[in-house]
Amino acid sequence: MRVFVIGGGGREHALVWKLRQSPAVEEIYCAPGNAGIDELATPVAIDPSNVAALVAFARDQAIDLTVPGPELPLTLGIADALEAQGLRCFGPSRAAAQLEGSKAFTKELLGECGIPTGFYGSFTDAAAARRYVREVGAPIVVKADGLAAGKGVVVCGEVAEAERAIEEMMESRVFGDAGATVVIEEFLGGEEASFMAVTDGSTVLPLASSQDHKRIYDGDEGPNTGGMGAYSPAPVVTPELHEQVMAEVMRPLVAGLAKRGIRYRGVLYAGLMITSAGPKVLEFNVRFGDPECQAILLRMRGDLFELMQATVDGRLAETRIEWDDRVAVCVVMASEGYPGDYEKGRVIEGLQDLRGWSNGVVFHAGTTAGRNGEVLTAGGRVLGVTALGADVAAAVGEAYAAVERIRWPGAQYRRDIAHRALRASARS
């Protein structure tokens, strides 16, 4: 079988690494790939936003299964475009991908399905949005409707701050058209958790639980990032909570989409706030989380390619996923300055020593191969050092021992990844 993975981050390295282990997979292509991916897959120089070129490549190369990693090609309709050519895609249609592409769409659907989430208002008029925040008061959350590279959410402690966010999004258009519509939402307090599942549009098969760390600094301080680390399982997702999320969120959502005539195929990712009144939905993503994917795939037993095929074919009712009992921890190493501006092209040292690492994998994110075989930094998040251990402390120890063997000028990483899981395991 010939597989085409789209993307060039840590998530895509993990996907390619896992797909490589499938006996059915003969050839993997990856657009655009990175220095780590390129050792396992043939690189393809097409941008993940160029849907027409990606589809033409899949057709010309007789690709059996295309796997988009990031949301952008999905919200641009790559699954529909592939299907129109008779080609298979592990990922939702454009209509289903609105779950990530439009917050207003999602909030309306959640209401329709009776799924717990914060109260909200959706606005295309800035004056009406301001009136609403004055009426409701702070704390309050202002969200650009469309995709804004993870920056379109402002949690506001004061009404004045919310009014500023409305002005920036709707009037100054700092996120372009993504801010034409703004969703203003109730502030929810509690601990956050991610919940991922694969679905074929009728069966919902949960993946192992996981949690990421969004802030740049230790203690969950500083600006938001794409994710500075992750671990699986996440103790916050108890067996009871797991059942509750499946019954109150995941199954009703997939059924609600089906009722609208939208069949969801692929990974569905719910961002949840575990409040004193139970789990409430913050957002949905229509793809694997990055770096949650790196931690989860290290624990997945069995064949990812077969799981993806069963999803596309609608055979998940007869499918099981088995998980390694060990804990996986992923520590992201990032460029100096990230999530702000950063330089590229710094030489990464120490990777060679970790080639035979038996308890983990160094997934590449923003890397590129230099002229003389060296590996260079090429992005904000550079590596996802991911380890398995018998318990959280062992996995954390193993991951950080590997991190300490990797060096480049200005490398930064958090030293407290999995701190909540460590505390939870100390309590039990």
Site residues (vs ligand GLY, CB under 6 A): 212, 227, 285, 289-290, 292
- For residue 296, the minimal CB distance to ligand GLY (Å) is 11
Residue 292's binding partner out of ligand AMP, ligand GLY, none, with CB under 5 to 8 Å set by partner kind: ligand GLY
- For residue 221, the minimal CB distance to ligand AMP (Å) is 13
Of the pair 188, 267, the CB lying nearest ligand GLY is at 267
Residue 161's binding partner out of ligand AMP, ligand GLY, none, with CB under 5 to 8 Å set by partner kind: none
Instruction: Kindly list the residues in this chain that would bind ligand AMP in the complex (CB under 6 A).
Output: 118, 141, 153, 155, 185-188, 192, 214, 271, 282-283
Of the pair 188, 300, the CB lying nearest ligand AMP is at 188
Rounded Cα distance, 101 and 143, in Å:
12
Residue 401's binding partner out of ligand GLY, ligand AMP, none, with CB under 5 to 8 Å set by partner kind: none
Of the pair 163, 186, the CB lying nearest ligand AMP is at 186
Of the pair 208, 351, the CB lying nearest ligand GLY is at 208
Of the pair 257, 273, the CB lying nearest ligand AMP is at 273
Peptide bond into 233 cis (omega under 30): yes
- For residue 274, the minimal CB distance to ligand GLY (Å) is 17
Residue 235's binding partner out of ligand AMP, ligand GLY, none, with CB under 5 to 8 Å set by partner kind: none
Of the pair 224, 412, the CB lying nearest ligand GLY is at 224
Nearest alpha carbon to residue 402 among 417, 423, 391: 417
Q: How far is CA 117 from CA 9, 132, 191, 296, 355, in A?
A: 31, 18, 14, 26, 45
- For residue 162, the minimal CB distance to ligand AMP (Å) is 12
Sheet holding 204-206, edge to edge: 204-206, 191-199, 266-275, 278-285
Nearest alpha carbon to residue 51 among 27, 84, 18, 99: 84
* CB proximity list for 387: less than 8 A, separation 6 or greater: 298, 328, 329, 359, 360, 395, 398, 399, 402
Residue in the structure block whose two tokens are 């059996």:
64
Residue 164's binding partner out of ligand GLY, ligand AMP, none, with CB under 5 to 8 Å set by partner kind: none
| Other Cβ atoms within 10 Å of 246 Cβ, number | 16
Quickly list H helices, 355-418: 392-403
- For residue 224, the minimal CB distance to ligand AMP (Å) is 6
SS (H, E, C) 391-405: CHHHHHHHHHHHHCC
Please provide residue 93's backbone torsions phi and psi, each rounded to the nearest 5 degrees. Answer: -65, 170
- For residue 19, the minimal CB distance to ligand AMP (Å) is 28
Of the pair 37, 375, the CB lying nearest ligand GLY is at 37
- For residue 5, the minimal CB distance to ligand GLY (Å) is 16
Task: Take residue 16 and report the two structure tokens written for it.
Answer: 């390619």
- Does residue 152 sit in helix, strand or coil? coil
Rounded Cα distance, 355 and 88, in Å:
34
